[in-house]
Amino acid sequence: MNRKRILVTGGAGFIGGNFVQYMVEKYPIYDIYNLDLLTYAGDLSKHQEIEKQENYFFLKADIADRGAINSLFVEYKFDFVVHFAAESHVDRSITNPGIFVQTNVLGTQVLLDAAKQYGITKFIHVSTDEVYGDLEFDPTTFFTEDTPLQPNSPYSASKASSDLLVRAYHETFGLPINITRCSNNYGPYHFPEKLIPLTISRVLNNQKVPVYGDGKNVRDWLHVLDHCSAIDLVMHEGINGEVYNVGGHNERTNLEVVKTIIETLNKSEELIKYVSDRLGHDKRYAIDPSKLEKLGWKPKYTFETGIAQTIQWYIDNKKWWEKIISGEYQTYFEKQYTN
């Protein structure tokens, strides 16, 4: 039997990076190709261990570069595409929406064209619950796969656009696909511009933590390794053409998250600094994961076990995030939080 070739786009980023490591270790029978442009969010140092494995390969390319992507499909004849590569930060999409359309929409279309032209077993498109818009603070309402798409930020609008293209390539050309829509991930190697790693790194350095608005917005937290197992399941067992929501019923207000981190690290709540609210700030996200559970998915982490493990990881891996926050990140931080 031929070895399966899995193209993972965005495998130098947070979730794609965890997924690449998970797949290289779990499936020695698969060859895992990590394709990434290495933007500010991409970092290969996290893969030092798996670089020694025979089933791991790195390809540097821009998903929006049609010529480069077509050549790679011709050369490697991928069986599966698991598509993570994207611009992923809502705040950056408010200051610079253009690159979100370029990477998330056009880049996805280039990959879809290549998959259609050269043939694949399945294209897994990793999307987000943010495409559904937001929910009121009513704990009985959830996003299901049938919730209409009503994205509110340039980021979520670009992701929704890419979801619609993936759906259209399935309906029009018969491309075998699945779309996954997950809630907010957290865990090892999370880039410290996002709430949880930003809070942990700043609290460890005794720096103020910026909380937008009144801190009452709600997110539904998912440990990144539970997300990896969900994608693994969808890749192997997902019904062609279906969308699957991924979330573990871990709703917390931002203030609860920040206070949990401060308390775990035995620091003072005086580190909290309320700052101006994000423009168009979505109130609440909450996932109904029952469709995926019926397929056989069960998360391993509760929010309590996951956040404890994550905080410990940031304590043990200070070198990794200190390298990031000492570079270009400082300019980003000052610009983002000055007003």
Could you tell which of ligand NAD, ligand TYD, none binds residue 210, using a CB distance below 5 to 8 A set by kind? ligand TYD
Q: If residue 185 lies in a helix (H) or strand (E), which one and from where to where?
A: strand 185-186
When computed from its CA atoms, the radius of gyration of the chain, rounded to whole angstroms, is 19
Stretch that binds ligand TYD, among 157-165, 210-218, 236-244, 263-271 (CB under 6 A): 210-218
For the record, the structure tokens of 46 come out as 């996290």
For the record, the structure tokens of 192 come out as 């410290």
In terms of Cβ atoms closer than 10 Å to its own Cβ (0-12, 13-18, 19+), residue 87 is buried
Closer CB to ligand NAD, 128 or 250, in the complex: 128
Q: Is 219 in the site for ligand TYD (CB under 6 A)?
A: yes
In terms of Cβ atoms closer than 10 Å to its own Cβ (0-12, 13-18, 19+), residue 269 is exposed
DSSP structure class, residue 181: E
**Active-site positions?**
129-130, 155
Calpha distance 257→215 (Å, rounded): 10
Q: Which of 105, 211, 225, 307 binds ligand TYD (CB under 6 A)?
A: 211
Report in angstroms the alpha-carbon separations of 76 from 59, 104, 309, 320. Answer: 11, 23, 37, 32
Nearest to 283 by CA among 181, 157, 143, 99: 143
Could you tell which of ligand NAD, ligand TYD, none binds residue 198, using a CB distance below 5 to 8 A set by kind? ligand TYD
Q: Which of 160, 198, 222, 287 binds ligand TYD (CB under 6 A)?
A: 198
- Look up residue 98 and give its amino acid: G
CB of 254 to ligand TYD, least distance (A): 4
Could you tell which of ligand NAD, ligand TYD, none binds residue 219, using a CB distance below 5 to 8 A set by kind? ligand TYD
Q: Is 15 in the site for ligand TYD (CB under 6 A)?
A: no
Closer CB to ligand TYD, 119 or 139, in the complex: 139
Closer CB to ligand TYD, 174 or 280, in the complex: 280
Closer CB to ligand NAD, 174 or 280, in the complex: 280
Positions touching ligand TYD (CB under 6 A) are 90, 184, 194-195, 198, 210-212, 217, 219, 254, 278
